[in-house]
Chains A and B, each alone.
Chain A
Amino acid sequence: MPAKTYWTVLAMACLSIGMIWDISWHISIGRDTFWAPAHIMIQLGGVVPALLFTLQAWHTTFRGTAAERAGAISLFGVCAPLGAWVTIWGALAMVTSAPFDDWWHNTYGLDVKIVSPPHAVLGLGMLAVSVGVLLNVLSWQNRLAGTPQGKSAALLFTIASGLMITMQSVFGTEYTWPNRQHTDIFYQVIAHIFPFLLLIPARVANFPWATTMAAGVYTVLTLFMIWVLPLFPAQARLAPIYNPVTHMVPPNFPLLLIVPAVVLDLLMLVWGRKLIAFRGWKAFFHDWLFAGVIGTLFLGLMLLVQWNFAKFLLTPAAENWFFAGNRVWPYYLQLKEWTHQFWDLDEDPLSLSGITIALVLAIVAARLGLWCGRWMLKVRR
Chain B
Amino acid sequence: MRITLLLWFAALGTAFAHIGSPNVYFEGTAGPYPVRVIVRPPGVVPGLAEINVRILDGDADRVTALPVYFRAGREGAPPPDLAERVRGETNLFTATLWFMESGAYSVDVSVEGSKGKGTVVVPVNSVAMTRNSMKPWFRNMLLALGSLLFASAVWLSGAAFSDSILEPGVPLTSKIRWRKRFAMACSAIVFAGLLTVGKLWWDKEDREYRTNRLYKPTPMRAEIDDRGGQPFLQLALNFSNRRRSGPLIPDHGKLMHLFIVREPESDVFAHLHPIRAGSSNFQAALPPLPEGKYQLYADITHENGFFETLTATVELPALPQSYVALWKTAGRSEVICSSVGASLNLTNFIVAPDMDDSWHIAREYSFAERRSRLPDGLSMTWESNLTFRLLSPEGASLPVEPYMGMFGHAVVRHKTGSVFAHVHPVGTFSMASQQFFLGATNTVSHKHPTNAITSVSFPYDFPRTGPYRIWVQLKSQGRVYTGVFDTTVQGSTYTGVPIASSLTNNSAFQFASRKQP
Is residue B209 contacting chain A, with contact meaning CB distance below 8 A?
A: yes
Is residue B148 contacting chain A, with contact meaning CB distance below 8 A? yes
Are B138 and A241 closer than 8 Å at their CB atoms?
A: no
Q: Report which of A67, A86, A380 forms a contact with B156, defined as CB distance below 8 A.
A: A86
Q: Please measure, in the bound complex, the distance between the C-alpha atom of A73 and the C-alpha atom of B98, giving whole angstroms.
A: 48
Taking the complex as formed, is B7 at the interface, i.e. its CB lies under 8 A from any CB of chain A? no
- In the complex, the chain B residue whose C-beta lies closest to that of A125 is B149
Asked if B198 and A89 make an inter-chain contact with CB atoms under 8 angstroms apart, the answer reads no
A381 within 8 A of B: yes
Contacts of A95 in B (CB 8 A): 145
Check if B205 sits within 8 Å of A116, measured CB to CB.
yes
Report the separation of the CA atoms of residues A241 and B69 in the bound assembly, to the nearest whole angstrom: 9
- Looking at the assembled complex, report how far the CB atom of A64 sits from the nearest CB atom of chain B, in whole angstroms: 12
A89 touches B156 (CB 8 A): yes
Contact of B77 among A71, A96, A112, A241 (CB under 8 A): A241
Which residues on A sit within 8 Å (CB–CB) of B378? none
When A and B form their complex, what is the total count of cross-chain residue pairs whose Cβ atoms lie within 8 Å? 133
Closest-CB distance, B192 to chain A (whole angstroms): 15
**Neighbour of B78 across the interface among A32, A105, A238, A378, CB < 8 A:** A238
Contact of A109 among B47, B77, B202 (CB under 8 A): B47
Residues 285-316 of chain A: 1 if any B CB is under 8 Å from the residue's CB, otherwise 0? 00000000000000000000000000000000
Q: Do the beta carbons of A103 and B134 come within 8 Å of each other?
A: yes
For chain B, residues 66 to 112, give those with C-beta under 8 angstroms from any C-beta of chain A.
67-69, 71-72, 76-79, 98, 100-101, 105
Does A108 touch B at the CB level, under 8 Å?
yes
The digit string for B151-177, where 1 denotes a CB below 8 A from any CB of A, is 011011001110111111100000000
CB closest chain-B residue, reference A106: B132
Does B9 interact with chain A (Cβ within 8 Å)?
Answer: no
Contact residues of B between 13 and 72, Cβ < 8 Å to A? 42-47, 67-69, 71-72
B404 within 8 A of A: no
Question: CA–CA, A75 to B206, complex, Å?
Answer: 38
Q: Return chain A residues, CB-CB under 8 Å to B478.
A: none
| Contact across chains for B142 and A99 when beta carbons are under 8 A apart | yes
The reply to whether A96 and B167 contact each other, CB–CB distance below 8 Å, is: no
- Determine whether the beta carbon of B78 is less than 8 Å from that of A379: no
**B132 — which chain A residues lie within 8 A by C-beta?**
103, 106-107
6 tightest Cβ-Cβ pairs between the two chains A and B = A240-B72, A240-B69, A71-B168, A70-B169, A109-B44, A82-B164
Give B residues with C-beta under 8 Å from A: 6, 42-47, 67-69, 71-72, 76-79, 98, 100-101, 105, 128, 131-132, 134, 138, 141-142, 145-146, 148-149, 152-153, 155-156, 159-161, 163-169, 198, 201-202, 205-206, 209, 213
Name A's B-contacting residues (CB within 8 A): 30-32, 67, 70-71, 73-75, 81-82, 85-86, 89, 92-93, 95-96, 99-100, 103, 105-110, 112, 116-117, 120, 135, 235-242, 332, 375, 378-381
Q: List 29 A-B contacts (CB under 8 A).
A: A32-B98, A70-B169, A71-B168, A71-B169, A82-B160, A85-B159, A89-B156, A99-B141, A103-B138, A105-B47, A106-B44, A106-B132, A107-B44, A108-B128, A109-B42, A109-B44, A110-B98, A117-B205, A236-B78, A237-B79, A238-B67, A239-B72, A239-B76, A239-B77, A239-B78, A240-B72, A240-B77, A380-B165, A381-B163
